[in-house]
Amino acid sequence: MSISRGERVAVPGPDDVVKEGDLVTVVMPTGTTSKIRELFDETDAPAQSVVIAGGGTTALMLAQILESRNKHVKLIEQDRNRCDELSRLLKRTRIIHGDATRLSVMEEERVEDSDIFVATCGEDEVSLMSALQAREMGVRQVTVMVNRADYAPLVERLGIQHAISPRILTGNRILMLFGRYPILSSALLHGGKAEVIELMAEVNSRIANRRLGDEVRLPKGTILGAVVRGEEVIVPRGGDVVQPGDTCIAFALSSSVDDLTRLFRGKR
């Protein structure tokens, strides 16, 4: 688990307190999401209606995924020709020709009744404007796609819950090309200040066959969220043993990733 508070990202200890407005990242086994949400007073029913601003490739793919999950989708696009193309490609999405930054368009389409609003316009400023309109109209969950990764902290300060940067997502994939063994996969968080990492415990590594907390300690700024052993998912505690071949899910501040990786790397 990690806590993001303003510009500060930290791995919490037993004496830390979660405060209102904190952004908390949690690693959990499948099927426990509802229990975790209850701790944060998020007991609303799953979202059913989504409004997408923008009609580019990202918007199209998102709408197709949502259609496959039987969600009610509206898509607002300013270009008439693109609207025609989208209407041929999408089966159940309602395509609206209009400007998502104009309040009159948003009110006419009753955007405030949607569960989620996603702004995927081509220009960051346009996406931000439409997302702010949706937030002011009362949409509870607003997400905006920004091409400039340095816009992400600004988005949060404006009261928009989620910012997605294609550059950061691309960075996640490029990191895998560097062969940072024993890392199997990695996802950047908080503008690249931290990572969620999937690691393989190699034979003869410093962490393998040693009791956590007693015989081996994780580097400062890291926490082990789960150990996957075959079909079993274990939430590790002090005294548990990581076996060679186990896949571990860890959270690490960017400054601690190399130290964590060395624990899992076997002797060459």
Whether residues 177 and 93 share a domain: the answer is no
Whether residues 150 and 194 share a domain: the answer is no
In a domain, 231, yes or no: yes
Whether residues 215 and 110 share a domain: the answer is no
Strand arrangement of the beta sheet that strand 72-77 belongs to: 94-97, 72-77, 49-53, 116-119, 141-145, 162-164
In a domain, 131, yes or no: yes
- Residue 208: the pLDDT is 92
Banded pLDDT at 86 (limits 50, 70, 90): very high
In a domain, 30, yes or no: no
- What are the tens digits of pLDDT across the range 136-146? 999 988 988 88
Structural domain that includes position 215: 170-264
Whether residues 154 and 213 share a domain: the answer is no
CATH of the domain at 109: 3.40.50.720
Dihedral sign for Cα 99, 103, 108, 111, please.
positive
In a domain, 39, yes or no: no
Banded pLDDT at 149 (limits 50, 70, 90): low
- Residue 166: the pLDDT is 64
Residue given tokens 């979202």 in the structure block:
47
Among 164, 189, 214, identify where a domain stops: 164
Q: pLDDT at residue 155 above 80?
A: no
Among 148, 164, 180, identify where a domain stops: 164
Q: pLDDT at residue 50 above 60?
A: yes
Specify the number of domains making up the chain. Answer: 2
pTM for this entry:
0.59
Whether residues 183 and 235 share a domain: the answer is yes
